[in-house]
Amino acid sequence: MTDTTTEQTILLVDSDLDYLEWATKHLSAKGLRILRCDHAEKAVKVCDTTEVHLIIADIMIQPFDGFALLSRIRAAHPGTLVILTAGFPTTAQVIEATQQGAQDILKKESLTFELRAVVETALRTLEERRTASQPNNTNPQPDSRVKIIGNSRALQDVFKIVGRVARTDAPVLVSGESGTGKELVAHAIHEYSPRSKSKIIAINCGAIPENLLESELFGHEKGAFTGAITRRAGLFEQCDGGTLFLDEIGDMPAPVQVKLLRVLQDGSFSRVGGHDTQKSDVRIVGATNKNLAEEVSKGRFREDLFYRLNVVEIHLPPLRARAEDIPLLADHFLRLTLKRNGMPPLHLSTEAMDHLKNHRWPGNVRELENTIARACALTTSDVLLPSDIEFTRTFQSEENTHHTTTQALHHLRKVAPDNQKLSTWISEQIEALQQDPPA
């Protein structure tokens, strides 16, 4: 632990006395005073009588939990930073802790590696944080509608951004590969925002023709086009006061991009075939699996719209980058599949789980869900084995296949003997492989 120039006080709050002893020694440093207690009420009294700069508290502390302790400390001592710890923080706990103003929330099994670095960062920024006014945070909505599953550090970082950005009206751009759960992030932002009592509406910008997409978003007047027999309110009007999720926004046609830009600038638009200006208060969350900056450079996406949308970017890591989430997701999808289909109990063997963890998951979470559903449908046993796990087949693009073939032919030309006709030599190699294939 780095020595501090001025004395700072840390209060450890946990019912595990062995942990308190370990953490005291682990964080010990010159200029650092470490206090500890095993009771939440005692922790409040310590803070009322002693200047405490940083609290590290277990979420499951008694007689009231870490969130209640955080709330009371934040109300009475806004300059004190709080770090919460938990065995396996849930999505709701990470978001709620962030929204209530916790400095961080850490998994207990990772404290050996993370605690010191997190505490040092907190202590370094403590003085400027204490001089800044702390916002009054409201309790978030229940997480029963938030379906994001995972305990990986990469995903927890996403939850923390969700917790911060949800309190604002800033446009959000969710990026990531297909199947990573971008729409779930949009729903989480909405559910934890002041707009949660209003609608969230989703539309896939790449699945609707240009003329229909404009009408879907902005509405149309009677007679605007063939088939427009009545006036129709678009999604911006239907979603007034709520959140509009624009999936695959990178595929939005250029004329629609222009109208969307205007809405983002001043909240105004006109229905198709109309001249009257409409107003709508909508929070925009866009999602794309494309590199929008690259699309801008190629002239396929408006630069001004890109900057309007990309106020806050949340990048969802691919499943292969958070393999530790695979067991949680696999168990979740297994229970969901069994319940949905009324199937008898079934569980994954250790070998099957290892098989899942070793796959690269090009289709991400969506591929994992489909893989589990397929295994449940095809198994004849109450235990899923590696042989029951059939991964989705992937294909190279025609361009990549051509490139690979060309490379192979160039290599063969280099290694073929000079004194032998190339076609004859290749035929001999193929025959040899067929007679004695490699192990």
Provide CB contacts within 8 A for 347, sequence distance 6+. 334, 382, 383, 384
Q: Does residue 47 share a domain with residue 19?
A: yes
The answer to the question of residue 142 being in a domain is: no
Residues 255 and 179 both lie in one domain: yes
Same domain, yes or no: 82 and 206: no
> Are 70 and 57 a contacting pair, CB within 8 Å?
yes
Within a domain: 259: yes
DSSP 105: E
pLDDT of residue 131: 45
Domain residues for the domain of 204 are 162-223+232-315
Widest CA span of the chain, in angstroms?
Answer: 93
Q: Which of 273, 291, 315 is the last residue of a domain?
A: 315
Please write the tens of the pLDDT for every residue from 215-265. Answer: 999 998 888 888 888 888 999 999 999 999 999 999 999 999 999 999 999
**Cis before 63? omega within 30:** yes
- Spans in the chain with pLDDT lower than 50: 128-143, 396-403, 438-439
* One domain for residues 263 and 378: no
Residues 280 and 170 in one domain: yes
In this prediction, residue 240 carries a pLDDT of 94
Cα separation, 63 vs 61, in Å, equals 7
Render 181-198 in DSSP notation, one character per residue: -HHHHHHHHHHTSTTTTS
Cβ(1)–Cβ(25) below 8 Å:
no
Q: Are 55 and 101 in contact (CB under 8 A)?
A: no
Q: What share of the chain is helix, strand, coil (3-state, %, to 5)?
A: 50, 15, 35
Question: Strand runs (DSSP E) across 7-156, as ranges?
Answer: 8-13, 32-37, 54-58, 81-86, 104-107
pLDDT given at position 58: 95
Count the neighbouring beta carbons within 10 Å of the beta carbon of residue 369: 19
Question: Do 167 and 295 sit in the same domain of this protein?
Answer: yes
Q: Residues 34, 121: one domain?
A: yes
pLDDT in tens, 356-393: 999 999 999 999 999 999 999 888 677 888 888 998 77
CATH of the domain at 114: 3.40.50.2300
**309 plus 324 within the same structural domain:** no
Phi, psi of 174 (to 5 degrees): -100, 120
Q: Which of 86, 112, 131 is the last residue of a domain?
A: 131
Here the CATH number for the domain that contains residue 365 is: 1.10.8.60
Say what the pLDDT of residue 127 is. 56
Do 125 and 50 lie in a common domain? yes
Burial class (CB in 10 A: 0-12, 13-18, 19+), 193: buried
Number of domains observed in the structure of the chain? 4
Please say which residue of 295, 315, 335 terminates a domain. 315
| Residue 340 maps to a domain | yes
Assigned domain for 154 exists? no
Q: Which of 49, 22, 16, 44 is nearest to 34 (CA)?
A: 22
Inside any domain, residue 250? yes
Is residue 266 located within the same domain as residue 304? Answer: yes
Distance of CA 55 to the CA centre of its chain: 28
Residue 141 lies in a domain: no
Choose among 261, 280, 258, 250: nearest CA to 174: 250
Which of 361, 372, 365 is CA-nearest to residue 336? 372
- Do residue 28 and residue 80 come from a single domain? yes
Residue 57: per-residue pLDDT: 95
Give the C-alpha distances (Å, rounded to integers) separating 173 from 49, 184, 282, 297, 310: 46, 13, 15, 18, 5
Asked if residue 362 is part of any domain, the answer here is yes
Any domain includes 3: no
Give the pLDDT score at 30. Answer: 85
CATH of the domain at 216: 3.40.50.300
Compute how many other C-beta atoms are within 10 angstroms of the C-beta atom of residue 399: 8
Domain shared by 287 and 329, yes or no: no
